[in-house]
Chains A and B, each alone.
Chain A
């Protein structure tokens, strides 16, 4: 295997709420190769989103190390960090909350292009139109407010914003969970197509194993702040070694069509 794009080692983070200490990350280590999708599954409250926010430097870990594109990612600060952020983007769960309520579709993308000077100023409008077209939206939406478009369209804009700066890694934190099932499938297709085109790596976080299975090369399972299982997607789901994953498999009836039927039936029987 080639040099990993991102390596995280022994990340720890606890939150204090009142007198209770909650361990959100308890020694998490993972690696993502260029152009690879690592699916991260786990129940709610297991620390998935905390991991996403630690990796994107939105919150600081208490200990641990992150290497990204060969650099010590946690040592970067100020302007160097802002410039390096270009290579790691994130798509949030709630497409409405992830945009300034006053923003317009075109403004959001133009901001990203301006900050990192992705294209010359004169070519910015054309690049915005190209991105909008690439994520399957009509160019008529460019002048519209983020509020005037549907949830699925918003998430496409969020994806367009993430890929506009041509990142190497995109962290998708429950990126399709808030969308209805018909829209979800098309967004997943878009993500897979973009990966094929640009060789971007994904950390695909979801509680929905079926969705993760559909897009991931490898799958990691998280429980109570720890990674309990990790491996190639097909083999992890075919032979789960942890109780958490077995439960997750049992909780997803739609899995019957995706993994081998005889295995899935076994799992569903003994899951609960």
Chain B
């Protein structure tokens, strides 16, 4: 695992990984630190932070525990971020591989579809999709994936175009391997490393898009998210700014962590070269 060591040896990677592990442990430990429904009333309304040891980050306008919201919100953010990025990379690499490997007409047709998705601003597309399909976690994930798969598709296609001219692909053809097997077994795995670096950027963008959708009230109303917490706190921004600031800090830490890791991963890939 020399790649992992290279990743963690750079300050960027180490800080990013530390931030991410904080968010990940918050998400994983949420049911134990703050058991029960984070949307239920836990104490008096608008309790300031650090005034009650049982509610360290205070409560919101309805008396809901902000710490519980923060921890459970980390779950939503990470789940949406990872699932949307995974779906986006999966769709993108399939389309990119087929376009790059099949070439000619198939390539042209697929890339025009990619163009169409890339022309529409990603957030608007997600917004329109969620408005039509309704706000639930899976819809939000699909919406974000739809708005971000064009970039990995382009990247994979470019990689595939370069890899398909290599000798080992020629060797696979000479041995009589089926084109589909060549595309997905010989070419795609070798095209993926740069896509993984891009995937991290997509995770960061997905977390932000999810927060923005929730902020606009288009998220899942039954799930606590940082975006909806910020929106909720906005109404009392002067009296109780901590209600918006605390989930905002969570968002910054998560996005920064993912971004730093992606930066370090890109560097580690560039330095190590491909195997």
Residues of A within 8 A of B (CB): 53, 56, 58, 81-83, 85-86, 88-90, 92, 94, 97-103, 111-112, 115-116, 147, 158, 161, 165
Query: With A and B bound together, what is the CA distance between A165 and B174 in angstroms?
Result: 11
Question: Which residues of chain B in 224-275 are interfacial with respect to chain A, using CB atoms and an 8 Å cutoff?
Answer: 274-275
State whether B170 touches A85 (Cβ < 8 A): no
CB within 8 Å of A: which residues of B? 166-168, 170-178, 186, 189-190, 274-275
Min Cβ gap A66→B in Å is 15
- Compute how far the CA of A102 lies from the CA of B178 in the bound complex, rounded to whole angstroms: 18
* Cβ B167 vs Cβ A92 within 8 A: yes
Among B174, B176, B178, B274, contact of A58 (Cβ-Cβ < 8 Å):
B174
Question: 20 extra interchain contacts, Cβ-Cβ under 8 A, other than A90-B170, A92-B171, A101-B190?
Answer: A56-B174, A58-B170, A58-B174, A82-B176, A82-B178, A85-B173, A85-B174, A85-B176, A89-B175, A98-B167, A98-B168, A98-B170, A99-B168, A100-B172, A101-B274, A101-B275, A102-B275, A111-B177, A116-B176, A161-B175
Please name all residues of chain A whose beta carbon is closer than 8 Å to the beta carbon of B170 when the two chains form the complex: 53, 58, 90, 92, 98
A112 to B178, CA, bound (A): 11
Contact between A100 and B190, CB atoms less than 8 A apart:
yes
* A82 to B173 CA separation, bound complex (whole angstroms): 8
A102 to B191, CA, bound (A): 12
B167, B170, B175, B178: most-surrounded residue (chain A CB, <10 A): B175
Q: Whole-angstrom distance between the alpha carbons of A111 and B176 in the complex?
A: 10
Query: What's the Cα separation between A97 and B169 when bound, in Å?
Result: 9
Q: When A and B form their complex, which 9 residue pairs have the shortest distance between CB atoms, in order from nearest?
A: A85-B176, A97-B167, A82-B176, A98-B167, A90-B174, A101-B275, A100-B168, A98-B171, A92-B167
Chain B residues with CB under 8 Å of A103's CB are 168
7 cross-chain CB contacts under 8 A: A83-B176, A97-B168, A101-B190, A115-B176, A116-B176, A147-B275, A165-B176
A198 vs chain B, min Cβ distance (A): 17
A-side contacts of B174, CB under 8 Å: 56, 58, 85, 88-90
Given contact pairs A92-B167, A92-B170, A97-B166, A102 touches B189 in the complex (Cβ within 8 A): yes
Which residue of the partner chain A has the closest CB to B166?
A: A97
Please report the C-alpha to C-alpha distance between residue A30 and residue B186 in the assembled complex, in whole angstroms.
Answer: 33
- Chain A residue at minimum C-beta to C-beta distance from B174: A90
